[in-house]
Amino acid sequence: MIKITQWTVVCLVLCLSISTAFSQGLSPPANVTAVDTANDDGSSITLKWDAAPEDSGISGYQILRRIADGDLEEIGELLPAGTTTYVDSSIEKGSAYAYAVRAVSETEATVDSEQTAPVKGTGEWFHTGKISLFTAMLLFGAVIVWNIYYARSGKDIFVRRIPGLEAVDEAIGRATEMGRSILYTLGLGRVDDVPTIASMTILGQVARRTADYETPLRVPCRDPIVMNVVREVVRTAYLDEGRPDVYNEENVFFVSESQFAYAAGVDGIMLREKPAAIFLQGQFFAESLILAETGNSIGAIQIAGTDSEHQLPFFIAACDYTLIGEELYAASAYLSREPMLLGSLRGQDWGKVLIFITMILGVILELSGVNWITTLLQKVN
Amino acid sequence: MEIFGIWLAAFLTLSIYSFLYRDNPFYRFAEYLFIGISVGYYIVIYIHQGFIPFAWEPFWAAVKPFWPGIPREAGWIGLIKLIPIALGLLFFGGLSPRHTWLIRYPSAVLVGFGSGISIPLMLQTFIFEQTRGTVEPFAAINAGTLSPWGIIEAVLMLIGVACTLTYFFFSVEHRGPVKWLSKVGIAFLMIGFGAAFGNTVMGRVALLIQRVDFLLNDWIGMIIGWLGTIF
């Protein structure tokens, strides 16, 4: 029994000596600095340290953090060897933190670096890394504003034929002749989604025509806020046409926020009310084919439009007309012929010409071994 | 309870599928149940994940320093949180026909914020990144590091992007070379849509198989097992 105890003590001493020897061989991470992360909202601090030599025996790093007078505590997972930076995103704004980096060997021996000076996370008003993007946006914005002024000066702006939009009057006329309603769905988008905003502008134009013809316009909504805004859009359209008496608030209604409950509800409305024309304009997801197929099965004339590239094939397959991607955004200018929208459309075309030129020039330059266009595009991103 | 759950799920699945025949009371029952449950579910979600953390708690934190008997730690700056809450409350203007105009203000703020966030993102992702992605392979062609198939891909990509871009010119009449370029562009679009169509249909068929598997194995399997114990 005494022998076993003696052997155990000897083994423990040996282990301790080996681990101490190894830990003495490890060098602590050098030049550890902690600075407030640039261009953020003050919610992170960035740590940097020098890379250790390959034969240093370091198998990973553990970050240690201390708040005010507290003790150092481990944060995050063990970082792999070779790491030289760490972003601590779990800080509280306004609190000062000091850090140390612990080098860990394969035998789990450890050695800590010196502690950094305490650092606070502070937010920046301007993201300097986005200046190139900001400049590009200003350029595009200037082109669009110039074109809007051009359109407002009374000069005629040509807009090419968009078959899906020429069918709008046909669809409304058909519904009026048949004495049936028109169903307009804006899809699943929120009020701040660009396709929903574009769809509301088209809805305004459709509502003007339905006000004239006294054709019932039914708008089932998925989002309560969208519903409120849509009611305003439709009401304003009816007022502008001098037909507030025809406007019925109940025709713009909420169904459900759940994607498939909404689809089931709209399908039910299609089957029971049998609208003569269906507009599917906005942001759609997996429910697109369910809606378009049901509309097709009741024989309604369907005009769809979305920028969701995965849903466009279904609309093309099941609807009479489909507005593809940007055609949805061009629709409002096409239908209303308002100088501001027409000018904006022309400005966007100029932007496309700029992209076209950049692309062709970029290809020629890349083939000649000059890569400043790709470098510039990289900077913008 | 589990047996009841399987029967209920099978009944609702078949009720929804009965829509394939025509509108009927079973479909209507499933539809109304689905809508009712989802509306109730989302109301609870919004109370717990929207109203309490984003309206009630900030409101209470803002007004607490002015409550009698509570030391004023925060001060006036905390009241800034009341502005978005007040904007949100304006949506209730829709409840009164005389005050519906009030909802224009929060709507304008939402649309403004949404556009402000999404426009730079769209420019980055769909314009600059895509332009760079189209041009960059030509650097590899110049360096001689691209395989013959890679070269074909890069050239096809350039033709596809250029022609599709031409299709989306609205203020130019599509005739002459523009017409032909845009026709090639629409062909590229249709090829892309065809691939997306096939891909998505495969996903939907997988969902159908999952549902049929439930009906055959879980439900009918359970009935057969039950009949086996009787006979």
Domains identified in chain A and CATH numbers:
26-120 (2.60.40.10), 128-142+342-380 (no CATH), 157-337 (3.40.50)
Say if B79 falls within a structural domain.
no
Q: What count of other Cβ atoms lies within 10 Å of the Cβ of residue A69? A: 5
Q: Give the C-alpha separation, A164 to A175, whole Å.
A: 16
pLDDT band at residue A12, thresholds of 50, 70 and 90? Answer: low
Q: Give the C-alpha separation, A228 to B107, whole Å.
A: 9
pLDDT band at residue A179, thresholds of 50, 70 and 90? Answer: very high
Per DSSP, the three-state class of B193 is helix
Say if B81 falls within a structural domain.
no
Per-residue pLDDT averaged across B88-96, rounded? Answer: 89
Number of domains in chain B: 2
Residue A369, token pair as written in the block: 């071994």
**Would you state the pLDDT for residue A3?**
63
Q: Give the C-alpha separation, A159 to A329, whole Å.
A: 13
Is the per-residue pLDDT at A24 higher than 60?
Answer: no
The type of residue at A104 is: V
Say if B169 falls within a structural domain.
yes
Is the per-residue pLDDT at A272 higher than 90?
Answer: yes
Interface with A, mutate which of B132, B141, B145, B183 (most A CBs under 10 A): B132
Q: Give the C-alpha separation, A46 to A73, whole Å.
A: 17
Say if B186 falls within a structural domain.
yes
Let me know: does A61 contact A84? Beta carbons within 8 Å. Answer: no
Q: Which residues from chain A sit within 8 angstroms of residue B22, using beta carbons?
A: 271
pLDDT > 70: percent of chain A = 93
Say if B125 falls within a structural domain.
no
pLDDT band at residue A21, thresholds of 50, 70 and 90? Answer: very low
Sequence-separated (6 or more) residues with CB below 8 Å from residue A119: A34, A35, A36, A45, A96, A97, A98, A99
Q: What is the DSSP letter of A42?
A: S
| Range of the structural domain that residue B161 is part of | 148-231
Q: Give the C-alpha separation, A250 to A219, whole Å.
A: 9
Max mean pLDDT range (A348-357, B62-71, B74-83): A348-357
**Would you state the pLDDT for residue A11?**
56
Say if B141 falls within a structural domain.
no
Which residue from A136, A190, A286 is facing B123, i.e. has the nearest CB? A136
**Would you state the pLDDT for residue A13?**
52
Q: Last residue of some domain: B51, B74, B97?
A: B74
Per-residue pLDDT averaged across A356-373, rounded? Answer: 93
Is the per-residue pLDDT at A10 higher than 70?
Answer: no
Q: Alpha helix locations (H) across chain A?
A: 2-25, 131-152, 163-178, 194-213, 224-240, 259-273, 288-297, 312-318, 326-336, 339-367, 372-380
Let me know: does A283 contact A308? Beta carbons within 8 Å. Answer: yes
* Residues of B (110-149) whose Cβ lies below 8 Å from A: 110-111, 113-115, 117-120, 122-124, 127-129, 131-132, 134-136, 138-139, 141-142
Condensed to tens digits (0 to 9), the pLDDT of residues A25-34 reads 678 899 999 9
Q: Between these two residues, A379 and B24, which has the higher pLDDT value?
A: B24
**Would you state the pLDDT for residue A16?**
47
Q: Identify the CA nearest to B31 among candidates B18, B46, B44.
A: B18
Say if B128 falls within a structural domain.
no
Say if B118 falls within a structural domain.
no
Q: Last residue of some domain: B39, B74, B109?
A: B74
* Residues of A (242-261) whose Cβ lies below 8 Å from B: 249, 255-258, 260-261
CB of B109 less than 8 A from some CB of A: no
User: In Å, how far is B39's CA from the nearest CA of chain A?
Assistant: 6
CB of B188 less than 8 A from some CB of A: no
Condensed to tens digits (0 to 9), the pLDDT of residues B166-183 reads 999 999 999 999 999 999
The DSSP H or E segment spanning A112 is strand A110-112
Per-residue pLDDT averaged across A352-376, rounded? Answer: 92
What are the phi and psi torsion angles at A276 (to 5°)? -80, -25
**Would you state the pLDDT for residue B68?**
74
**Would you state the pLDDT for residue A92?**
87
The DSSP H or E segment spanning A102 is strand A96-105
Dihedral sign computed on CA atoms, order B172, B176, B181, B184: positive
Q: Give the C-alpha separation, A99 to A67, whole Å.
A: 9
User: In Å, how far is B172's CA from the nearest CA of chain A?
Assistant: 6
**Would you state the pLDDT for residue B38?**
95
User: Which residues are paired to A35 by β-bridges?
Assistant: A46
Q: Which residues from chain B sit within 8 angstroms of residue A235, using beta carbons?
A: 100
**Would you state the pLDDT for residue B62?**
85
Is the per-residue pLDDT at A308 higher than 50?
Answer: yes
The type of residue at A28 is: P
**Would you state the pLDDT for residue A156?**
86
Let me know: does A272 contact B23? Beta carbons within 8 Å. Answer: yes
Q: Last residue of some domain: B74, B89, B122?
A: B74
Q: Do A377 and B135 touch (CB under 8 A)?
A: yes
Is the per-residue pLDDT at A379 higher than 70?
Answer: yes
What is the pairing mode between strands A119-120 and A85-88? unpaired
